[in-house]
Structure 1
Amino acid sequence: MLFVSVSDGGLVGRCISSAVIDKDRLTQAMGVCGGWPPSTALPMFVLVCLVSNISVPPVAFMLSTQLNPMAEDNRLAPNCICQLKRSVTNILKDGRRVVVILDMEVVKSADEVAGKIGEPQPYVEGESSAHTAFLTITISYGLGGQKWTIRARVTNKSGIRTWSNSRGDGKLFSMEIVDESGEIRVTAFTQEVDKFYSIIETGKVFYISKGSLKIANKQYSSLKNDYEMTLNGESTIIPCEDTQDVPMVQCNFVSIADLQAREKDTILDVIGVCKSVSDVTRLNTKNNREVSKRTLNLMDQSGKLVEVTLWGEEAETFDGSGQPILAIKGAKLSDYGGRSLSASFSSTVMVNPDIPEAYKLRGWYDKEGHSMAGQSLTEARTGGGGGGNTNWKTLADIKTEHLGHGDKADYFSCIATIVYIRKENCLYQACPSQDCNKKVVDQQNGMFRCEKCDKEFPNFKYRLILSANIADYGDNQWVTCFQESAEAILGQNAAYLGQLKDSNEAAFEEIFQQANFHTFVFRNRVKLETYNDESRIKATVMEVKPVDHKEYSKRLIINIRKMASTQ
């Protein structure tokens, strides 16, 4: 039998050592502790945490990710007796062996053992003095070295993303894989994209060898793993037909009601019933790329609703008929208009997934949830003057309610009229690259230089930034309008306005004059900013829509009735 000594004071990063003890001594030790639990056979492999200072052998034990709570809540403590139920052995690059613990039970707690058992002797093999650490592993086999192979299931595969900058062009894709010990994110760049992208299929199991590990960027991943893997020129990926015991996707679902307490931009997992869904819309990004978008509302047992945005192919293919269960792994949380979620580039979207949480949610919804209206955490943005949950304010409320003075920006909608637009410096010449809107410098030789891209171009594109004064019945406010909202106000695109400014100044002036005294629904972002020791509110228009007077009238009638009922 193999015993392991863990130095007192914690687990992670502590040195371990081992001692050999025979079965009779083990049985005697267990007798001191009260014997084996009923109906439990003597295990083939037992880990006993003992306090000692003996030398460290070339063997280390590691906890797989799902066993972390055993260390965090001190169930795994010095002097406790543990039974190993499942484990694997890995050989590191320097020849050391690591036993990866996949499943383990604390048979006797440290308090029950009440001290060290016997006098364990150090196990010495050669004169090795290598120190190993008790570590929390990545995915069970992949820590350190290059001589390893893992068998894991692909739970998510992204599309190929490209980039172009001063250092050159490139591309990448990422995937998430899972085995019985945990999950990890894997990224491939450039040559490895060409080599592996067509091989990888979501849901399939593969043998993966020789990747590089680095600290994970938690900003872009919800995986419970401190590391992520990068494929390199020596990496291999081979399809595996033996898929038994390889788990499916692992999710750590957050209740919709709990989204209120989470920080903006948090990456998390969520599951809910699709209560409603919009049609697909198409919009142009800042890079003039058309993308599909679809919004829907999810509700769970908390009775709360949240708006979720799907993009691209997910938006095109999603079918919300029959109010399906939708699970999203790696959704990004936004505070725009309350709380909302977006399925990002690396998210996994699952419709009616074959997981216990989905069946439980379906049972609840069919029994009682279907009759609930639900309370939305997201402000309605159907706009046009309508009601819903939109945060309607007047411009005077910016001052009276001190909007924008908190730690975060405030968002509100208002109906206001354009009073004046500054046309000076409203257009600028921007970099023509798809992913760049940086202002270019005219080289006076027919070329335009972008400092961000570190390139010169024979052309440019026009971008709009408007400074406008809007007013309602109570106050007025200067606002900044960027490309999309500026084009909506002026009724013309930036490219046409740029050409007109160069060729027909009078016609250019007329467009600005015609935009005055038009009324719109403005969705605004306000935040107190300080510049040159002077603090003032900066208001930015996020969206501009025409007024739906029918919906606006309904809202006014509702407000009048509310006011009348309080008199």
Structure 2
Amino acid sequence: MYYITHASVKMANKRYSRNQHDMEVVLRPDSEVTKCTDRPQILSPKVNFEFVRIHNLQSFIDTEIDVLGTVIHIGEMKQLKSKTGEDLQKREIQIVDDSGYYVTVNLWGQKAKIFPSEQYQHVLAVKGLLVRCFQGTISLVSMTSTKLLHDPHFPEADALQFWYSKNKDKAFKSASVNQVSSFKEHRWIKQLKFSVDGHFFNLTAMISSIFIENAVYKGCLTCKKKLLVEKDGDLYICSKCGICNEYKYYYTLHMELFDFTGTVHVTAFDDCAQKLIGEQADEVAKLLIFDRDRYQSSFKSVLFKPYMFRLGAQRRGNTDCSTASAKTKQVYFWSVKDVITMPFDSYCTFLERTIEHMSSGIFIEK
């Protein structure tokens, strides 16, 4: 806490301010800032929050916001190096609110060091997080001024805790910018050969088949890596985290998609697969053991239905040993980043526009 004298209070210029305050303090050349030495005699100012619900974060990209959520994941603290060689500390946590969406919060510095593991499944109020978006995924980043309030006591927090206690076993959605419904980056399967590494695009297609034998696997609770089973199934080992006492089932769906131009094999990981199937992998894994027919039906129900996929292209080297001098071919790996049911209204508009371009000679596909 500081005393500030000879400063001006003005209306905040929203063009250069990331916070939501209407007023700001502007320091002048003759302004004085002195540390408050009689702090114990002064009552702590009440922290006022203006919470943004997680499913609305896409409207606040690059803006400073407040958020209220229940902690559903606490990652390990990581030691990093900045470009200047400075030691940095980072910890990722995930929070969910009653919108049914969750978001990753990146804590830095001292906040990453001291974040308590006991906060798991407890309510957390945070003031002053920066909203970031990378390749459609939204995250929140702590700053020096960020304030964390553990187990707050106000009506919104109590209501959230009650909601979470009733819904903690449900599948939550990841906060993201809805890029999958856009036709600006649309491709047909035949056009995928023109893609480049790291490129993202949308694809309208149906699923012709899903390889269901290894569709779910036992994974580490911390990093989601597949666990090795030892001692007749009594011991689980993660290649990254070591011995695990518990596990969770996750999806890895290998699928074949098709449209009128061809077919392509893609992989959908846990979040996207769960969104597609409509059930958590734990529930589907039970069917694999106790009801094989229902297990198969869980996957058959999504076949030959129109979807819109958000795909990412990743190039991998593949050595061809069939020739005398082995050559490395470039093979693409396609991963599903998001999926929605076909938005027919916008799809019809897109097709009409495509037909117009073809008629005028603008759109040429070879």
Q: TM-score range by the shorter chain?
A: 0.5 to 0.7
Query: 1:501: Cα distance to partner?
Result: 0.2
Larger strand proportion of the pair: 2
Count of equivalent residues: 231
Give the equivalent residue in structure 2 for 1:488. 275
Aligned partner letter, 2:339? V
Instruction: Map residues 288-327 of structure 1 onto 2, 5 A cutoff.
Output: 290-291=102-103
Give the equivalent residue in structure 1 for 2:234. 446
Task: Evaluate the alpha carbon distance shift between residue 456 and residue 562 of structure 1 in structure 2; reply closer, same or farther with a 3 A threshold.
Answer: closer
CA distance in 2, matches of 1:536, 1:229: 36
CA distance in 2, matches of 1:348, 1:521: 41
1:557 to 2:352 alignment: yes
Aligned partner letter, 2:141? S
CA distance in 1, matches of 2:144, 2:190: 41
1:504 to 2:291 alignment: yes
2:103 and 2:139 in contact (8 A); partners too: no
CA distance in 2, matches of 1:416, 1:445: 40
Give the equivalent residue in structure 1 for 2:4. none
Instruction: Map residues 262-273 of structure 1 onto 2, 5 A cutoff.
Output: none
Give the equivalent residue in structure 2 for 1:393. 187
2:277 and 2:298 in contact (8 A); partners too: yes
Query: 1:476: Cα distance to partner?
Result: 0.8
1:282 and 1:291 in contact (8 A); partners too: no
Give the equivalent residue in structure 2 for 1:403. 195
1:282 and 1:292 in contact (8 A); partners too: no
Give the equivalent residue in structure 2 for 1:536. 331
Aligned partner letter, 1:514? S
- 3-state SS, counterpart of residue 353 of structure 2: helix
Task: Evaluate the alpha carbon distance shift between residue 518 and residue 348 of structure 1 in structure 2; reply closer, same or farther with a 3 A threshold.
Answer: farther
Give the equivalent residue in structure 1 for 2:254. 467
Instruction: Map residues 521-532 of structure 1 onto 2, 5 A cutoff.
Output: 521-532=308-319
CA distance in 1, matches of 2:352, 2:144: 43
1:344 to 2:141 alignment: yes
1:525 and 1:542 in contact (8 A); partners too: yes
Q: Equivalent of 1:217, from 53, 69, 81?
A: 81
Query: 1:481: Cα distance to partner?
Result: 0.7
CA distance in 1, matches of 2:104, 2:99: 6
CA distance in 1, matches of 2:239, 2:337: 28
Q: Equivalent of 1:381, from 160, 178, 182?
A: 178
CA distance in 2, matches of 1:451, 1:460: 14
Instruction: Map residues 38-53 of structure 1 onto 2, 5 A cutoff.
Output: none
1:450 and 1:456 in contact (8 A); partners too: yes
Instruction: Map residues 55-66 of structure 1 onto 2, 5 A cutoff.
Output: none
Query: 1:397: Cα distance to partner?
Result: 0.5
Instruction: Map residues 45-124 of structure 1 onto 2, 5 A cutoff.
Output: none
Query: 1:415: Cα distance to partner?
Result: 0.5
1:281 and 1:292 in contact (8 A); partners too: no
Give the equivalent residue in structure 1 for 2:207. 418
Aligned partner letter, 2:295? F
CA distance in 2, matches of 1:313, 1:477: 44
Query: 1:341: Cα distance to partner?
Result: 8.2
Q: Between the two structures, name the one with larger relative contact order (CA 8 Å, sep ≥ 6).
A: 2
CA distance in 2, matches of 1:348, 1:394: 47
Task: Evaluate the alpha carbon distance shift between residue 422 and residue 561 of structure 1 in structure 2; reply closer, same or farther with a 3 A threshold.
Answer: same
Unaligned 5+ segments in structure 1 are: 1-155, 165-170, 173-186, 188-215, 220-224, 231-279, 284-289, 294-311, 319-326, 350-379
Instruction: Tell me the TM-score normalised to structure 2 length.
Output: 0.53
Unaligned 5+ segments in structure 2 are: 1-63, 90-97, 106-123, 147-176, 320-327
1:466 and 1:482 in contact (8 A); partners too: yes
Aligned partner letter, 1:425? N
CA distance in 1, matches of 2:285, 2:333: 27
Query: 1:544: Cα distance to partner?
Result: 0.7
CA distance in 2, matches of 1:448, 1:502: 19
Query: 1:513: Cα distance to partner?
Result: 2.1
1:526 and 1:537 in contact (8 A); partners too: yes
CA distance in 1, matches of 2:192, 2:267: 16
Q: Equivalent of 2:218, from 426, 429, 432?
A: 429
CA distance in 1, matches of 2:125, 2:256: 40
Task: Evaluate the alpha carbon distance shift between residue 564 and residue 483 of structure 1 in structure 2; reply closer, same or farther with a 3 A threshold.
Answer: same
1:417 and 1:520 in contact (8 A); partners too: yes
Structure 1 residue ranges (4+ consecutive) displaced by more than 6 angstroms after TM superposition: none
Indicate the structure (1 or 2) with the bigger Cα radius of gyration.
1
Instruction: Map residues 326-341 of structure 1 onto 2, 5 A cutoff.
Output: 334=134, 336=135
Aligned partner letter, 2:204? I
